[in-house]
Structure 1
Amino acid sequence: MSDPRDIVPFLYEAGHLKRSARQGWWIAGVQNPESVAEHSFRTAIVGYVIAVMEGADPERTATLCLFHDLPETRLGDVPSTGKRYISQAAAEQVAKDQTAALPGHLADRICGLVAEFEEKTTPEARCAKDADKLECLLQAREYQAQGNQQAQPWIDTMLEAVSTEAGRKLAAAAVEVAPEAWWHDIVSSYGRK
Structure 2
Amino acid sequence: MKNLANFFFEAGMLKRTPRTGFQFLGSGTESVAEHIFRATLIGYSLARLDGGVDVGRVLALCLFHDIPEARTGDLNYVNKKYVKVDEERAVDDLARTLPFGDDYRGLLAEFAAGETPEARIAHDADQLEMILALKEYKDLGNRYADEWYPFAVRRLRTESAKRLAETIWATDSTRWWFDENSDWWVRGGS
Matches within 5 A, 1:24-103: 24-30=21-27, 33-55=29-51, 56-89=53-86, 91-103=87-99
TM-score (norm. length: structure 2): 0.90
Structure 1 residue aligned with 2:106: 112
1:142 corresponding residue in structure 2: 136
Supply the distance in 2 between the matched residues of 1:75 and 1:51 (Cα, whole angstroms).
Answer: 29
RMSD after superposition = 1.7
Q: Distance in 1 between matches of 2:63 and 2:34?
A: 10
Task: Within 5 Å, give how 1:14-33 maps onto structure 2.
Answer: 14-30=11-27, 33=29
- How far, CA to CA, are the matches of 1:93 and 1:64 in structure 2? 19
Worse-matched range after superposition: 46-55 or 11-20: 46-55
Q: 2: distance between equivalents of 1:8 and 1:154?
A: 39
> Is residue 54–residue 165 contact of structure 1 (8 Å, CA) maintained in 2?
no
Task: Tell me, yes or no, if the aligned pair for 1:67 and 1:114 is still in contact at 8 Å.
Answer: yes
CA distance in 1, matches of 2:127, 2:185: 38
Q: How many pairs are equivalent?
A: 185
User: Which segment drifts farther, 123-132 or 58-67?
Assistant: 58-67
Aligned-partner Cα distance in 1 for 2:31–2:54: 27
Aligned-pair CA distance for 1:92: 3.8
Mapping of 1:110-189 within 5 angstroms?
110-185=104-179, 188-189=181-182
Structure 1's unaligned 5+ residue stretches are none
Contact 1:92 1:115 (C-alpha < 8 Å) held by counterparts: no
Residue 78 of structure 1 and its aligned partner are, at CA, apart by 0.7
Bigger proportion of residues as helix: 1
Percent identity, aligned pairs only, is 39
* Residue ranges of structure 2 left out of the alignment (5+ in a row): none
- 1: distance between equivalents of 2:16 and 2:139? 24
Q: Which runs of 4+ in 1 moved over 6 A?
A: none
* CA distance in 1: counterparts of 2:89 and 2:50, whole angstroms: 30
- TM-score, reference length from structure 1: 0.89
Shift of 1:93: 3.4
The amino acid of 2:83's aligned partner reads I
Distance 1:180 1:162 in 2: 24
